[in-house]
Amino acid sequence: MKILNHKDAINRRLYKGLIIVETAIYRVFWLNRTVLRVGEGRFYVVKPS
């Protein structure tokens, strides 16, 4: 795909940046739900039983 003008290039960079941020937010959300639990201001790891 050929980039026709500078606005397309800027939009493409912004879109890629949004995907990276969205992926990072999802990973932190997943980590908080599955591995880390917040209790009384401390983080601790939940070990599988």
The domain spans of the chain are 6-45
Token output for 7: 């606005």
pLDDT digits (tens, 9 = 90+) for 11-48: 777 677 777 777 888 888 877 777 665 554 555 556 66
User: What is the per-residue burial (b if ≥16 Cβ within 10 Å, else e) of 5-26?
Assistant: eeeeeeeeeeeeeeeeeeeeee
Q: Name the residue with tokens 């995907």.
A: 19
CA distance 37 to 32: 6
pLDDT at residue number 4: 64
pLDDT at residue number 20: 74
Taking the model in full, what pTM does it have? 0.37
Token output for 35: 């591995």
CA 32 from centre of chain: 12
